[in-house]
Structure formats: C-alpha cells, structure tokens
Amino acid sequence: MFVTTSYHPQPERERIAKKLAERLSVPCVPRERKTLKQLFAETGFTQAVVVSQGEIRWEDREGRRFFFHPSMSAVRVKRLRSGGSDPLVESSGMRRGDEVLDCTLGMGADAIVASFAAGPEGRVVALESQPVIAALVEHGLRTYSTDRADLTEAMRSVEVVCADYRDYLPRLPDKSFDIVMFDPMFGETVRESSAMQALRPLANPEPLDPESVKEAVRVARRAVLLKERRGSGEFARLGFRVAKEASKYAFGVIRVEGENG
C-alpha cells in the first residue's frame, strides 16, 4: 500500500498525505501526472490511499473504493431529532450523558448515532482494529461538512482509537462504560450493501468470541449490545437475547445492570 494525492495537489493535501503515510507506515508516492494504474504498476503495490480535495479514499487495483460518508447515520439522527426511535438506541436503553464503547467502528454510523443520543454530556469511544479504516473514518468524522449542527457535533465528538477490542477490553476497569456495543462483519449484509462490500477487503473478518463478550459484560454498567443479521445463531452462541429486529438485521442485548451490583 502507498499514499498519494490527486492531480495538482494543494500544499495542504500534500501535508495530509505525508502525515497519513507516516501514520500507516507506508510510502508517500508523488502523483505527478500518473494514473493510479501506472502507480500500481511502478510500485508493485495493489492498494493506495488517495488524498484529494473532497475526500480521502482507499482504492485497489480492481477499482474497489472505500471512503467516509455519514450515510444512514444522517437519516437516523434526523429521525431521533424529530422524536422518532432508533433500534440501536432503543435496544440498548441509551440516554443522554451515557459513556459508550463501540468496539467495531467500521463506517462509523452507529458511533455517530450513539454520539448524538449521548449528547454533549456523554462520551463515545470507537475502536477500529484496521489502521486504514481507522485513519479514513477518523479524518472524515473530523472534517466532513454538513449544515446540520447536531450531526456535525455528533461526528466531531466520536473518539477513534485504533485498537483491537480483544486487547483493549481486558485493560479497562470494571464498569467503565455504560454501554458496550459490537457490530462484527457478517456475510449476508455485506453482500446486500454496496457500502459494506467496499469495506469488506479492509475489515477484520474475525467473529466475536465469548471471552470478549465476558470482558464487555465486566466493563459495562448497564448493557452489552450485538448487531447481527436476523436469525443469526451468534445471539444464542454468545448469550444475547434478541431485543429488536429490523428488515435485515437484529440487535441482541445482555443486561448487566443489577447483575453485577
């Protein structure tokens, strides 16, 4: 993998590209007047991160692309703003002032919704084990422009940490977050969503393990949440009770309030 820019980059784009290359420990390759196809051929790499005026995107030589966009989170925040419900918020019992740990940031939609629901008094920490996803989504959360002040505030408030929850959770104190949530990559939704299909080559495919769930229960004050496809056997395997179903996915929950004190 390498980092490059669009054609005729401004100095700020070049600065961002160099900083991003350092973060990812990959080469920063001058674009000059070459196509990505030419750069792939010259460098021998099959993946690139391109810093352009409007976005930072990942692209491979097959033409698959990934970039940050608030996507459905904007629709969900609008619904909550107007007094409607959201299955994540409803299933978890999330409320203003909550501290939320999102163990699987991905494209960031659930973290944004959680940030809006928790409000300025709350806190959302989002973990992402894959460095490229963490870098691109974090940049998008910090810079994406929207005319909705509350959506912008929700995006800016998410704290992104590049870490695997298997390593991160055991280091946390007991009851350090109100809600801990997981949204592992699952096959059927990936096939039906073009956005998730673009994310798939970069995402961590490892399934959620019982030990991590146990750690999450220890860390949570009130609830641990799992998003999976409808009818998934993962809920039963990992000890979650299905709390809410949507058209293609469902939320399972483990209530820990009262069980541990």
* pLDDT score recorded for residue 206: 84
Average pLDDT over residues 31-49: 96
Confidence label for 191 from pLDDT (cuts 50, 70 and 90): very low
Give pTM, 2 decimals: 0.91
Q: Is 86 helix (H, G, I), strand (E, B) or coil?
A: coil
Q: What is the pLDDT of residues 116-132, one digit of tens each?
A: 999 999 999 999 999 99
Confidence label for 200 from pLDDT (cuts 50, 70 and 90): low
- Decide if pLDDT at 57 tops 90: yes
Domains and CATH numbers, the chain: 2-63 (3.40.50.10480), 72-255 (3.40.50.150)
- What pairs with residue 253 in β-bridges? 225, 241
Please name which of 74, 76, 107, 70 lies closest in space to residue 94, comparing C-alpha atoms: 76
Whole-angstrom Cα distance, residue 181 to residue 146?
Answer: 26
* pLDDT score recorded for residue 261: 40
Q: Could you tell me where the DSSP H helices lie in the chain?
A: 11-24, 36-43, 72-81, 87-92, 109-118, 131-143, 149-157, 165-168, 187-192, 194-199, 210-219, 234-238
* Residues in CB range of 159: below 8 A, 6 or more apart: 123, 124, 125, 126
* Residues in CB range of 116: below 8 A, 6 or more apart: 77, 80, 81, 150, 151, 154
How many Å from the N-terminal Cα to the C-terminal Cα in the chain? Answer: 48
Q: What is the pLDDT of residues 62-83, one digit of tens each?
A: 999 999 999 889 999 999 999 9
Average pLDDT over residues 189-216: 73
